[in-house]
Amino acid sequence: MKAVLCITLNPAIDMTITLQSLTLGAVNRATHGQTTPAGKGLNVAHVLSELGVNGVASGFLGLDNDELFSALFASHEDFKSIEGIGKITDGFVKVAGATRTNVKLVDNGRTTDINGQGFVVTQKDKDELFAKLEMLVQGVDAVLVAGSLPNGFDGQDFDRLLHILTNKHDKVAVDVSGEALKIALTHQLWLIKPNNDELSAVFGGDMTVLDNQKVAISQIASIKNILVSMGDKGVHWFCQENLYRATPPTVSVKSTVGAGDTMVAGMMFGLLTQEDEQKSNEDVLRFATALSAHAVMVVGVNVPNPLILNELLSQTQVEQLS
């Protein structure tokens, strides 16, 4: 069974509240609510586990409110004997303070995020994580670093982290934004997935336009696979000398939370199993795009049943552009 190290430096407890409609300054009544352990890397680990990949979840975790995370890891211990289901194991470094709580208000497919403040990591915390990752990275098939940076962890720390990982492994994927994305683009990476807004923040221009994307990507020579996601407009995959475009099916949107994480999970799964299962590049991109399309149809992150997945796959269009 494949294994992926999923690093979430700044995880969160997601409180997702669904409403018929949101009225500011008034009393609103929820139609549904759920509280889950989250963070981009942890979301990817969850999807990968449902695809049959073992996830090793690492990063920083606050000691004051780690109950939901402990319950998640404990629940996956039961998966050891279930064929086709991967487990998620705890590789986090516990730090003083509380993991942040993010509130997500979902109304008519629109999501409003209110992100909380979390813990502050110390130099001791960082040194402990770097040492732990040097050991964990040796026993996995790929590595992912995803999400924002916590308080106390700056660009230099992120640069050091990527140096450690890329020196130890040739399959390092990154899904970050802002200054961290600028740093990531200078490293030898296996996979990166900026959306068009994140890419625009680095290079400028309208990054929904393919020609602008090509100019930006031409300045990045160190990354094997670059996915540029554009929401319902689809995704472009710059795969060394080749370029592919996928257009997702039209679906009813409940929440966009986790759609990008699901695409990353689907893409990593596809690339890791491509040779074993004799998948074409088109197959890999179609699967990741269909999986992401399903993510916006539900609240939370999960893999659809085979019937729904096959229907989405049949409606996902993929073409090679070069």
How would you label 171-203 residue by residue, b for 16+ Cβ within 10 Å and e otherwise? bbbbbbbeebbebbbebebbbbbbbbebbbbbb
C-alpha span between 83 and 126 (Å, rounded): 36
Backbone angles phi, psi at 22, to 5 degrees: -105, 125
Tokens of 224: 């094997």
Residue 81 is predicted with a pLDDT of 44
* Cβ atoms 59, 10 nearer than 8 A: yes
Catalytically annotated residues = 261
Residue 175 CA to residue 184 CA, distance in Å, equals 9
The whole-model pTM stands at 0.93
**pLDDT by position in tens, the chain (length 322):** 899 999 999 999 989 898 888 888 999 989 888 898 999 999 999 999 999 999 999 999 999 999 999 998 888 765 554 456 788 999 999 999 999 999 989 887 788 889 888 999 999 999 999 999 999 999 899 999 999 999 999 999 999 999 999 999 999 999 999 999 999 999 999 999 999 999 999 999 899 999 999 999 999 988 999 999 998 899 999 998 899 999 999 998 887 878 999 999 999 999 999 988 889 999 999 999 999 999 989 877 889 899 999 999 999 999 999 9
- With contact defined as beta carbons under 8 Å apart, do 246 and 281 qualify? no
**Which residues on adjacent β-strands are paired with residue 320?**
244
pLDDT at 165: 98
195 secondary structure, DSSP code: B
pLDDT of 84 reads 63
Residue 78 pLDDT: 58
Find out whether 6 and 56 touch, Cβ atoms under 8 Å.
yes
Q: Tell me the CA distances in angstroms from 36 to 13, 18, 70, one per residue in order.
A: 6, 14, 12
| Burial of 61 per CB tally in 10 Å (0-12, 13-18, 19+) | buried
Residue 129 phi/psi, 5° resolution?
A: -65, -45
Q: Class of the 3-320 domain? A: alpha beta
- On whether the CB atoms of residues 89 and 116 are closer than 8 A, the answer is no
In the DSSP assignment, the letter for residue 25 is T
* Structure tokens, 80: 């050891």
Listed in order, strand segments (DSSP E) in 22-177 are 30-38, 54-62, 88-95, 100-107, 110-115, 142-146, 172-175
**Distance between CA atoms of 49 and 4, rounded to whole angstroms?**
10
pLDDT attached to residue 82: 46
Strand partners, 271: none
Strands annotated E in 116-253: 142-146, 172-175, 189-192, 223-229, 235-239, 242-247
